[in-house]
Amino acid sequence: MSLISVNVGLPREVEWQGKVVHTAIWKQPVPGRVIARRLNLDDDGQGDLAGHGGEHRAVMVYQLDSYRYWEAHFQRHDFEYGQFGENLTVDCLPYDEVCIGDRYRIGSALFEVTQPRVICYRVGIRMNNPQMPALLVSHKRPGFYFRVIEEGEIGAGDEIVKVADGQEHVSVAEIDALLYLPGHPRDQLERALRIPSLSAGWKGSLEALVEADQLGGNAGLAPSSAPPPAWNGFRSLRVPAVQRESVDVLSFILESEDQSPLPAFFAGQFLVSSSNSTRTQLQSCETIRCLVRRVQEPIASA
């Protein structure tokens, strides 16, 4: 197992669909060796510290196998290392084998696996494909994060040596599925929550699912301390504009019928929409637009 490339980048302002976005999704390969520190690599940074960075999300990892997968999927051959916003491009560490809490020695640094990557819309900017965040989730190739246990030097070509197994032996793929795929088995949730290395954010989301199971409700992804719903049942909204993002992705702009301000939204929130012809589930992104996903069974309001 080896480290193929070390990639860094600092935040910049990027124009995207008529707006300016502050992002550090652009990472470039670094010649020579780099110091891996507690919060990031030298000369690296994060544009949105609410969703990226911190001790448990210090270093993002992506596999060379996924590069080859996306090259075949998109019939593209212009990818460069750092294309998916990762700090470390590796030729190993598949999702179904790497477990939360596993520790790896690379160069003189020691790393620990903490969580899968939570997909951000900014990767769609980097790929020039707004559908990319949804594809990374649905194709089960998100990437994952390292925590830096011992600071040290790393560089392309370094051997990656596993030095410890994570408690409970829960893979990155299993953790990702617990949160994002249908069905949340209680025993698997409790097993995941016993992992001391799992990041606080993921623990909070899994604890909410356990609590909802105890109460017979639906936690979604919000902790129990989250504010109550902005309104109960269905509320009439207008769609003043529809924008085509790609061949099979549309963005719907929503507003109230009386044009009064709508409550503030949060990234990753879900809405239920009911129309005369169909019902759809809307997943709000980190913009005021919504991606539409049709569902086979009718959805009732809570």
The pLDDT tens digits for 134-183 are 888 888 898 999 999 999 999 999 999 999 999 999 999 999 888 877 77
Lowest mean pLDDT among 118-127, 146-155, 229-238: 229-238
Q: What is the dihedral of CA 301, 209, 293, 144, to 10 degrees?
A: 160
CB neighbours of 208 closer than 8 A, spacing ≥ 6? 219, 220, 221, 222, 223, 224
pLDDT at 103 over 90: yes
Note the pTM of the prediction, 2 decimals: 0.70
Lowest-pLDDT range, 54-58, 96-100, 181-185?
Answer: 181-185
Q: CB of 221 within 8 A of CB of 206?
A: no
Residue 191 clears pLDDT 60, i.e. is over it: yes
User: Beta 109-116 vs 279-284: how paired, if at all?
Assistant: unpaired
Burial class (CB in 10 A: 0-12, 13-18, 19+), 27: buried
Name, in order, each residue with C-beta under 8 angstroms of 31's C-beta and a sequence gap of 6 or more.
none
147 vs 54: CA distance, rounded Å: 9
Q: Give the CA angle between residues 91, 84, 155 to the nearest 5°.
A: 45
